[in-house]
């Protein structure tokens, strides 16, 4: 449990002003970055994410009835419903209500509650603001109603909430990273066994810089689900000849060449990217262990190429930002991050080169893409946690 910070204090004060309830729980749940291993989670591969300093905060309190009262600080919007009447919506509420729906379906004894939502994870930037909302909600309700749910089960509830209430068949990475993050560490997660290992992430003289295209990605615009189906189709074709194959984790490039390439060139390319990315991540973990940041960076460029040309989930703005840093000696690696079609690139940039890079790129990005560029330095923080209210907050 951490002592409350300024952001949590602010949302706590807003809660007090809105709702006449004092027995509150305050939860912080972070956004995430992913160093390498993209679109591998739902293919039973590995991912290498970390929780960051940008986070979602919720303050919640039990009610004496079955009503749910929600308030979003960002949208300055109130919403009221009841446990019996919840249903998906197309906005911020859906991630909270999706979690409630999962808890009810699993038979957890929850009652009515009031909840205020705030945070500074930019929406649609590929930093998993929705997963952070889901993790914060399930964590807060677990505390409030003493449900005794362990972290991994909460991750699965949050994932299911997103799949059912937003209709995107997301993998486990985002919720896992938000829930299990550890300061100054990345997490190597095996998405098949769910075993994980923390790896120190101290880039001597370099920082992970996020460059936001400010293009809103629409994961739910069906492309994500289409990619998932294409991977499943590739697996099914290989399985006709190798009955022990259950996911792209079990598939080799040779198997794809033998059983997929002739059937469908697009599906072949999708599967090839995933099979290569799983191997690339394992090699990148060795780079990290050897502290060879240059080798890790080179692999990030390869990942971007694969995501852009083989998996085709990039867009012209993301490609522009990656191309623009490629020749810069201060940048060791760059790639699009997350689901794709917008959001951020993640860049490993030399400390002294950051300011100039951001300055120059802001101008050229505006000139070429006619959009504003935003930049953040990602610092790696702990995962979802309850925050203790300081004395002065009363």
Terminal C-alpha separation, the chain: 18
Handedness of CA 292, 174, 121, 108 (dihedral sign): negative
Can you tell me which of 31, 124, 333, 338 binds ligand GAF, judged by CB under 6 A?
A: 338
Torsion of CA 194, 276, 220, 373, to 10 degrees: 110
Q: Count Cβ atoms below 10 Å from residue 263 Cβ, excluding itself.
A: 11
Rounded Cα distance, 353 and 358, in Å: 9
Say whether residue 170 binds ligand GAF (CB under 6 A). Answer: yes
Which residue, 44 or 174, is less far from ligand GAF as judged by CB? Answer: 174
Q: Quote the least distance from Cβ 220 to ligand GAF, whole Å.
A: 11
| Stretch near ligand GAF under the rule CB under 6 A, chosen from 5-13, 14-22, 169-177, 284-292 | 169-177
Using CB under 6 A, pick the residue from 33, 35, 41, 259 that binds ligand GAF.
41
Report the nearest approach of ligand GAF to the CB of residue 232 (Å). Answer: 14
Examine residue 38 and tell whether it contacts ligand GAF (CB under 6 A). yes
Q: Which of residues 227-286 bind ligand GAF (CB under 6 A)?
A: none
How far from 95 is each of 102, 123, 204, CA to CA, in Å?
Answer: 11, 13, 37
Q: Does 173 bind ligand GAF (CB under 6 A)?
A: yes
Write the interaction track for ligand GAF spanning residues 85-124; mark x where CB under 6 A is met and - where it is not: ----------------------------------------
> Structure tokens of 325?
């840093």
> Looking at beta carbons only, is 8 or 248 nearer to ligand GAF?
248
d(C-alpha 376, C-alpha 344), whole Å = 10
| Segment holding 165, helix H or strand E | helix 151-166
Instruction: Please give the Cα distance from 181 to 135 (Å, whole number).
Output: 12
Task: At 306, list the tokens.
Answer: 């694969």
Structure tokens belonging to residue 168: 């995107």
The CA distance from 192 to 208, in Å, is: 27
Closer to ligand GAF at the Cβ: 174 or 385? 174
Which stretch in 39-47, 199-207, 293-301, 386-394 sits in contact with ligand GAF by CB under 6 A? 39-47
Q: Active site includes 174? A: yes
Query: Which one, 15 or 383, has the nearer CB to ligand GAF?
Result: 383
Would you give the DSSP letter of residue 182?
B
Binding of ligand GAF at residue 181 (CB under 6 A)?
A: no
Q: Which of 118, 174, 250, 264 is an active site residue?
A: 174
Stretches 17-25, 33-41, 60-68, 133-141: which one binds ligand GAF (CB under 6 A)? 33-41
In angstroms, rounded to a whole number, what is the distance separating the alpha carbons of residues 113 and 166? 22
User: Where does this chain bind ligand GAF (CB under 6 A)?
Assistant: 38-39, 41-42, 128, 170-171, 173-174, 338-339
Instruction: Give the active site residues.
Output: 174
């Amino acid at each position: 449990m951490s002592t409350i910070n300024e952001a949590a204090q602010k949302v706590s004060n807003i809660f007090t002003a809105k709702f006449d309830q004092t027995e509150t729980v305050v939860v912080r749940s972070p956004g995430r970055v992913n160093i390498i291993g993209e679109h591998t989670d739902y293919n039973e591969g590995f991912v290498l994410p970390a929780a960051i300093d940008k986070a979602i905060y919720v303050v919640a309190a039990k009610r004496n009835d079955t009503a749910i009262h929600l308030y979003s600080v960002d949208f300055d919007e109130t919403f009221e419903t009841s446990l019996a009447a919840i249903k998906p919506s197309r906005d911020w509420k859906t991630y909270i209500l999706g979690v409630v729906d999962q808890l009810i379906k699993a038979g957890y004894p929850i009652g009515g509650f009031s909840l205020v939502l705030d945070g500074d994870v930019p929406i649609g930037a590929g930093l998993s603001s929705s997963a952070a909302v889901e993790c914060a909600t399930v964590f807060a309700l677990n505390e409030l109603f003493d449900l005794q749910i362990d972290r991994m089960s909460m991750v699965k509830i949050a994932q299911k909430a997103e799949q059912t209430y937003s209709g995107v068949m997301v993998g486990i990475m985002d919720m896992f990273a938000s829930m299990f993050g550890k300061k100054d560490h990345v997490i190597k997660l095996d998405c098949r066994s769910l075993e994980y290992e923390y790896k120190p992430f101290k880039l001597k003289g370099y920082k992970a810089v996020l460059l936001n295209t400010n293009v809103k990605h629409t994961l739910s615009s069906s492309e994500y689900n289409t990619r998932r189906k294409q991977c499943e189709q590739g697996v099914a074709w290989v399985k006709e000849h190798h009955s022990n194959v259950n996911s792209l984790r079990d598939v080799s490039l040779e198997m794809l060449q033998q059983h997929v390439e002739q059937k469908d060139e697009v599906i072949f390319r999708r599967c090839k990217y995933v099979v290569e990315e799983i191997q690339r991540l394992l090699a990148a973990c060795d780079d990290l262990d050897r502290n060879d940041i240059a080798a890790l960076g080179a692999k990030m460029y390869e990942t971007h190429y694969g995501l852009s040309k083989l998996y085709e989930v990039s867009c012209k703005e993301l490609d522009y930002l990656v191309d623009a840093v490629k020749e810069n000696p201060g940048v060791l690696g760059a790639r699009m991050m997350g689901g794709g079609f917008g959001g951020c690139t993640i860049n490993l940039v030399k400390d002294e080169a950051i300011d100039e890079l951001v300055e120059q790129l802001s101008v050229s990005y505006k000139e070429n893409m006619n959009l504003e560029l935003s930049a953040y330095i990602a610092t790696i923080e702990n995962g979802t946690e309850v925050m203790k209210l300081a004395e002065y907050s009363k």
